[in-house]
């Protein structure tokens, strides 16, 4: 009887360790191909979020090398990168020196990279239906905010 209990406990411990190790996988690179323009983005996200993965593939389909970095501390990430609470979404993307929060359309990213404004980044708050990576129809324009260098909402960057 004692041997069976020990085996059960050992099995539970091993299963827990294996699950923990697999859930701590930190990086996944989305395969690059001839579509890539050499621009690399890092998407900080929970590995269990399907819409974050979908947004990563959207970026890849639009010519970016994408590195998905799985994190368990997304609230800390938002604070670390100076994203105002009311502009938060589910994942945070880093490209060059900019922070891009949420399911950002490629047009806004391209405008940011072309104009190179002196800001921390841009944010599409929440998870709007029909935005890149989110299912459903687009029901209203997407308000894209700019974030100042000191982490404040600087108002509308553009609307798509």
Whole-angstrom distance, CA of residue 105 vs CA of residue 91:
14
Q: What is the pLDDT of residues 33-63, one digit of tens each?
A: 544 456 889 999 988 888 888 899 999 999 9
Q: Average pLDDT in the 89-97 region?
A: 93
Whole-angstrom distance, CA of residue 26 vs CA of residue 7:
31
The pTM assigned to this predicted structure is 0.78
pLDDT-based confidence at residue 30 (cuts at 50, 70, 90): low
Q: What is the pLDDT of residues 99-156, one digit of tens each?
A: 999 999 999 999 999 999 999 999 999 999 999 999 999 999 999 999 999 999 999 9
Strand positions, DSSP E, 59-148: 64-70, 92-95, 98-101, 121-123, 143-147
Contact 126, 132 (CB under 8 A): no
Task: Pull the structure tokens for residue 1.
Answer: 């009887």
Out of 28-37, 64-73, 74-83, least confident range: 28-37
Q: Average pLDDT in the 23-28 region?
A: 50
């Amino acid at each position: 009887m004692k041997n069976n209990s020990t085996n059960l406990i050992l099995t539970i411990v091993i299963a827990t360790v294996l699950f923990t190790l697999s859930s701590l996988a930190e990086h996944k690179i989305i395969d690059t191909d001839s579509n890539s323009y050499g621009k690399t983005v890092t998407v900080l996200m929970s590995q269990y979020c399907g819409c974050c993965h979908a947004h990563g593939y959207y970026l890849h389909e639009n010519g970016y090398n994408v590195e998905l970095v799985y994190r368990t501390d997304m609230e800390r990430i938002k604070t670390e990168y100076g994203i105002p609470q009311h502009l938060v979404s589910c994942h945070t993307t880093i490209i060059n020196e900019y922070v891009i929060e949420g399911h950002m359309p490629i047009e806004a990213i391209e405008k940011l990279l072309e104009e190179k404004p002196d800001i921390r980044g841009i944010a599409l708050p929440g998870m709007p239906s029909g935005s890149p990576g989110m299912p459903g129809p687009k029901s209203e324009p997407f308000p894209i905010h700019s974030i100042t260098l000191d982490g404040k909402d600087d108002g509308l960057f553009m609307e798509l």
